[in-house]
Amino acid sequence: MDTGTIIVGLTIFVLACFAGAELISKVPQTLHTPLMSGSNAISGIAILGALLATGVPESVNAQSGLGFLAVIFATINVVGGYMVTDRMLQMFKKKKRKKKE
């Protein structure tokens, strides 16, 4: 990997770190759990690497075998994470309260 690529990667990394901290600072306490499970699902993005490792030409070897396991774990993370987040968010409702004065 040449130095230029490394610098570009590090630039992206640092900027995305700031974006992440900035975005989350606006999330209210009420939504901390969905936020956590939602961002947890996002970290299942490792699935991209897992897919590339599994889809190699030779059908079964150490690489594709480990990739296969990685796809399973990442899919559990992605599917499970998004589904529980959605389930929780369905519950956050604002009820119309009749207030007795």
Residues 61-90 that bind another protein (CB under 8 A): 61-90
Do residues 81 and 37 make contact, with C-beta atoms less than 8 angstroms apart?
yes
CB of 7 to another protein, least distance (A): 10
Q: Which residues of 12-40 are buried (b: 16+ CB within 10 A; e: fewer)?
A: eeeeeeeeeeeeeeeeeeeeeebbebbeb
Looking at residues 13 to 42 of the shown chain, list those that interact with another protein (rule: CB under 8 A).
Answer: 13-14, 16-21, 23-42
Q: How far is it, in rounded angstroms, from Cα 68 to Cα 50?
A: 7
CB of 22 to another protein, least distance (A): 9
Residue 4 sits in the site that holds another protein (CB under 8 A): no
CB of 82 to another protein, least distance (A): 5
**# binding residues, another protein (CB under 8 A):** 87
